[in-house]
């Protein structure tokens, strides 16, 4: 019973942290800066075809109450809030993209002019431009958000690698090399290599080639930050392909699980659990997964090309080529991972 107790403590600690942080700080600080699920969703939302945004900027220019951020208040008492404004303190006329928006829609309800809505847009369009954004400022100056995008992309591959058969061979080899029997230091080394060293080498070399061969005048680190956002669509494609594989191949397991749960409670009217009922065949799911990867690749190339055109008008191919190679390497690694036998993650070093 150690594991359930540990899980309970972890869950309680998580909610205690939420109450503590949001009790001290305002503007949904935990969700915006700390919650790992929130950070994942923020990056993935950059590929959404929808965005909460202003319909007409001129209407906002003539608005004097700014209810979208202040909230709608009682006329007789400014302290009485009838409808909350944006909890993340996003000023809608200056908002651009989904990176710092939770889609709570408080601003939509607060706007007295019905000038804010969920509007359609080109997916990943916010990764191609760099306006000053309410809440996060300029993407090109945010090393932390660029690092988040890099971890999001490379983490998709590391996550999949942790669930395929070759991980056990690598762990066994590292265990002998490091003379350790515990899995934690081995996983720590794997994470360091694939989430820090590998991105630093690939993106660093690509930025150096972009400067020297492409003739881009930007400094090396700003180039790394700028083009790291182009990897997000491919990373999202890998997340979608990986978890789509698990979802579709186990789509029908809800039936035997429900049968078993009801049988344990004494209700057997659904019959014996049909554990042979699993999901969609692998030969049907794999083409769909590779389609997700190709869509992600196309999105990354589209963003990288747009950035290259802005940086190098005369020879955009030279600025684009290094990042296309990085995307190709990540695509090949993703395809290789998706072709490996998927295993349930277990503790290899135990015993």
Tens-place pLDDT, residues 117-163: 999 999 999 999 999 988 888 999 999 999 999 999 999 999 999 98
**How many domains does the chain contain in total?**
2
221 and 260 share one domain? yes
- Residue 49's CB is within 10 A of a number of other CB atoms, namely 11
Q: Distance between CA 11 and CA 33 in Å, rounded? A: 19
Bridge-based pairing state of the strands 50-54 and 72-74:
unpaired
* 158/259 same-domain check: yes
| Structural domain for 103, as ranges | 35-137
Q: What are the C-alpha distances in Å from 114 to residues 59, 68, 301, 311, 342?
A: 10, 10, 37, 38, 49
Looking at the domain assignment, is residue 345 inside a domain? no
Instruction: Identify whether 284 is part of a domain.
Output: yes
Using CA atoms, how far apart are residues 112 and 59, in angstroms rounded to an integer? 11
The first and second tokens of residue 245, run together, are 């594989």
Q: Taking residues 189-211, report their average pLDDT.
A: 95
With H, G, I as helix, E, B as strand and everything else as coil, classify residue 116.
Answer: strand
pLDDT exceeds 80 at position 79: no
Of 89, 113, 137, which residue is a domain's last? 137
* 27, 89 contact by CB (below 8 A): yes
119 plus 199 within the same structural domain: no
Using alpha carbons, select from 59, 60, 42 the residue that is nearest to residue 51: 42
Tokens of 302: 């589209």
Whether the CA torsion 186, 191, 192, 193 is positive or negative: it is positive
Domain identity same for 186 and 238 = yes
Report pLDDT for 247.
Answer: 92
> Nearest Cα to 151, choosing from 142, 139, 159, 140?
159
- Supply angle C-alpha 334, 336, 342, rounded to 5: 95
User: Residue 148, CB half-sphere, CA atoms under 13 Å: how many?
Assistant: 21
Q: What average pLDDT does this structure show over 95-115?
A: 91
Tens-place pLDDT, residues 163-197 = 888 888 898 899 999 888 888 899 999 999 999 99
Quote the tokens at residue 247: 């979802």
Kindly tell me if the per-residue pLDDT of 77 is higher than 90: no
Q: Is residue 344's pLDDT more than 60?
A: no
If asked whether residues 330 and 215 sit together in one domain, one would say yes
Q: How confident is the model at residue 3 (pLDDT cuts 50, 70, 90)?
A: low
Per-residue pLDDT, averaged over 62-66, amounts to 89
pLDDT band at 78 (very low <50, low <70, confident <90, very high): low
Query: Both 178 and 316 in a single domain?
Result: yes
Predicted local confidence at residue 29, as pLDDT: 85
| The predicted structure's pLDDT at residue 73 | 78
Question: Model confidence over 289-325: pLDDT tens digits?
Answer: 999 999 999 999 999 999 999 998 888 999 999 999 9
Domain C-terminal end among 78, 108, 137 = 137
Is residue 250 over pLDDT 70? Answer: yes
Determine, yes or no, domain membership for 60.
yes
What is the percent of the chain where pLDDT is above 90? 55
Residues 152 and 260 in one domain: yes
Query: Is the domain of 197 the same as that of 129?
Result: no
Same domain, yes or no: 93 and 158: no
Of 180 and 351, which is predicted with more confidence? 180
- Whose CA is closest to 139, among 207, 225, 220? 225
Query: What's the whole-number average pLDDT of the chain?
Result: 89
Q: Is residue 11 one of the residues assigned to a domain? A: no
Q: How confident is the model at residue 1 (pLDDT cuts 50, 70, 90)?
A: very low
Q: Are residues 117 and 174 in the same domain?
A: no
In a domain, 219, yes or no: yes
- pLDDT, residue 315, reads 87
351 in any annotated domain? no
Verify that 149 and 197 share a domain, yes or no.
yes
Q: Of 106, 137, 168, which residue sits at a domain end?
A: 137
Taking residues 22-51, what's their average pLDDT?
A: 89
């Amino acid at each position: 019973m150690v594991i359930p107790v540990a899980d309970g403590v972890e869950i309680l600690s998580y909610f205690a942290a939420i109450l503590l942080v949001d009790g001290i700080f305002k503007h949904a600080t935990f969700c915006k800066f700390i919650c790992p699920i929130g950070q994942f969703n923020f990056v993935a939302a950059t590929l959404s075809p929808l965005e909460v945004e202003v319909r007409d900027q001129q209407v906002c220019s003539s608005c004097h109450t700014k209810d979208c951020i202040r909230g709608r208040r009682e006329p007789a008492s400014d302290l009485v809030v009838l409808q909350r404004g944006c909890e993340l303190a996003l000023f809608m006329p200056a908002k651009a993209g989904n990176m710092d928006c939770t889609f709570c829609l408080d601003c939509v309800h607060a706007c007295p002019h019905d000038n804010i809505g969920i509007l359609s847009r080109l997916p990943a369009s916010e990764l191609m431009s760099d306006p000053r954004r309410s809440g996060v400022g300029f993407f090109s100056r945010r090393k932390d958000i660029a690092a988040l995008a890099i971890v999001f992309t490379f983490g998709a591959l590391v996550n999949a690698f942790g669930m395929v058969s070759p991980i056990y061979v690598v762990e066994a080899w590292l265990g002998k090399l490091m003379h350790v029997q515990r899995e934690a230091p081995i996983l720590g080394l794997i994470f360091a290599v694939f989430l820090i060293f590998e991105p630093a080498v690939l993106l660093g070399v690509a930025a150096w080639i972009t400067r020297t061969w492409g003739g881009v005048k930007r400094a090396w680190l700003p180039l790394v930050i700028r083009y790291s956002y182009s990897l997000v669509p491919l990373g999202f494609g890998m997340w979608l392909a990986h978890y789509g594989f698990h979802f579709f191949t186990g789509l029908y397991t809800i039936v035997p699980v429900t049968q078993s749960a009801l049988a344990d409670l004494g209700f057997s009217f659904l019959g014996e659990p049909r554990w042979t009922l699993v999901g969609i065949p692998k030969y049907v799911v794999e083409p769909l997964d590779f389609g997700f990867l190709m869509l992600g690749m196309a999105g990354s190339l589209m963003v990288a090309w747009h950035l290259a055109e802005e940086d190098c008008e005369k020879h955009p191919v030279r600025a684009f080529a290094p990042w296309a190679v990085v995307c190709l390497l990540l695509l090949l690694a993703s395809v290789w991972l998706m072709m490996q036998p998927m295993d349930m993650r277990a503790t290899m070093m135990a015993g």
